[in-house]
Amino acid sequence: MTNVQSYDYIIAGAGCAGLSLAWFLVHEGPGNRKILIADQSLQARDDKTWCFWSSAGIPDAALIDHEWQKLEIRTDNHHGISGLTPYGYYCVQSDSYHRKMTSVLRESTNIDWVECRIDDIDTQNNRARLHTSKGTFDADYIFQSIRPVDIDAHELNLKQHFIGWEIRTEKPVFNTEAACFMDLSVKQREGITFMYILPYSGSQAIFEYTLFSEHLLPAETYETEIRQYLKDRFNLDEDAYTVIRKERGIIPMVDNGFMPAQNERVINIGASAGLAKASTGYTFTRTHTTNRKIVQLLKSGQPPVPQNPSPRRFRAYDILLLYIIKYHPASALEIFETLFKKNRLVNILKFLSEETHIGEEIKIFWSLPHRPFFKAIYGARRLLLTAFSSR
């Protein structure tokens, strides 16, 4: 019989979900539990730039690398730079997050770390088991963030997909006053297409050519568009800047994507739990707030299976928007343009954070073209029923 090492909890995957869960377990958890953290690489990776506008969920404000107090929106018929109070727009680099979190977690004697390939997760005798290239481990619970959401198992199977270039220019050209949330004035392809810009300094910024759509583009296409945008918007020829880092993302935007557990012993966390907000792809804040809830459940002796963080009506709003993007993209563009033109940006952010009350939501919907939503209510009626009938 093979030797199995036992733990109270195993965290399978040490990305932002795994590390933040470990952080909450150490600082707010039931205490004195043996924890194993397993990942194929325990090194910090500079491959993701996480942004969000409410810092309430993150463990420590010192994790924030950049912040802006204003956001820019550009469409064909509207351009605005708006203040965000009471929010800010915050940015965390994945490598600095990893370094800061692990330097705290490595001090905990309750945590073991193993760098290994995870081959399988199953359950036996009411224990969760992790099968890896370094042996088998078992625990009361495994919290896993290694299995991606199966996007194509959903009818609304969109993705937020992008390639980003972080560039450095010879001369300062960027306005650091505001990050650009969406520049929708770029040529539209399938779905919704926009440029997203984070100006870190006058001479350093990240440009992400982004789509909300079903099909990925060849890598060269995203990069050609970034090159062209730098020329058109900033008059930057290729020899005027250096690409210092590239970033690629494919984030699920699906109907009814929340899946909190594989079974009662194997709990999903982070992106694997379907925590990407369906209509925006933002996942970082919800990962932290949901992890904190998981730890509260453990502490109170309950099964650590969290509720869907989205109230039912917000799941329904997301489904309507995804349906319109997938089946009526021209209407979707008109909706985005009208949304930004007729509503204050802070109200939109509050709505996207699912913090609005119903009166505020009616006001927002009233400002938008109505017909596409009526069509979507009919077309997506089965998905809406699922959203309203699930937990």
Nearer to ligand FAD, 21 or 230 (CB): 21
Residue 281 C-beta: closest distance to ligand FAD, Å: 6
Nearer to ligand FAD, 248 or 299 (CB): 248
In the chain, what is the greatest distance between 2 CA atoms, to the nearest angstrom? Answer: 69
What does the alpha-carbon distance between residue 178 and residue 91 come to, in Å, rounded to a whole number? 13
Residue 343 C-beta: closest distance to ligand FAD, Å: 21
Residue 362 C-beta: closest distance to ligand FAD, Å: 27
The burial class, CB within 10 Å (0-12 / 13-18 / 19+), for 232 is exposed
Task: Determine the 3-state secondary structure of 253 from DSSP.
Answer: strand
Nearer to ligand FAD, 121 or 333 (CB): 121
Q: What is the CA radius of gyration of the chain?
A: 22
Sign of the Cα pseudo-torsion (378, 380, 381, 384, in order): negative
| Residue 103 Cα distances to 77, 84, 106, 207, 301, angstroms | 48, 32, 5, 30, 29
Residue 207 C-beta: closest distance to ligand FAD, Å: 14
Nearer to ligand FAD, 266 or 380 (CB): 266
Residue 116 C-beta: closest distance to ligand FAD, Å: 7
What does the alpha-carbon distance between residue 211 and residue 188 come to, in Å, rounded to a whole number? 9
Rule CB under 6 A: which residues touch ligand FAD?
A: 13-18, 39-41, 48-52, 117-118, 145-146, 247, 249, 251, 270-272, 276, 282-284
Nearer to ligand FAD, 251 or 278 (CB): 251
| Residue 45 Cα distances to 116, 294, 351, angstroms | 16, 26, 32
Residues ≥6 apart with Cβ < 8 Å to 389: none
Phi-psi sector, 332: left (phi>0), alpha (psi -120 to 50), beta: alpha
The structure tokens listed for 163 are: 């390639």
| Residue 375 Cα distances to 167, 342, 370, angstroms | 43, 22, 9
| Residue 67 Cα distances to 160, 211, 379, angstroms | 23, 24, 40
Nearer to ligand FAD, 161 or 331 (CB): 161
Residue 389 C-beta: closest distance to ligand FAD, Å: 27
Nearer to ligand FAD, 182 or 376 (CB): 182
Residue 64 C-beta: closest distance to ligand FAD, Å: 13
Nearer to ligand FAD, 18 or 29 (CB): 18
Residue 34 C-beta: closest distance to ligand FAD, Å: 20
Nearer to ligand FAD, 38 or 383 (CB): 38
Residue 144 C-beta: closest distance to ligand FAD, Å: 8
Nearer to ligand FAD, 154 or 236 (CB): 154
Nearest to 80 by CA among 173, 180, 193: 180
Residue nearest to ligand FAD (CB): 15
What does the alpha-carbon distance between residue 234 and residue 155 come to, in Å, rounded to a whole number? 40
Phi-psi sector, 32: left (phi>0), alpha (psi -120 to 50), beta: left
Spell 133-145 as b/e; 16+ CB within 10 A means b. eeebbbbbbbbbb
Residue 94 C-beta: closest distance to ligand FAD, Å: 7
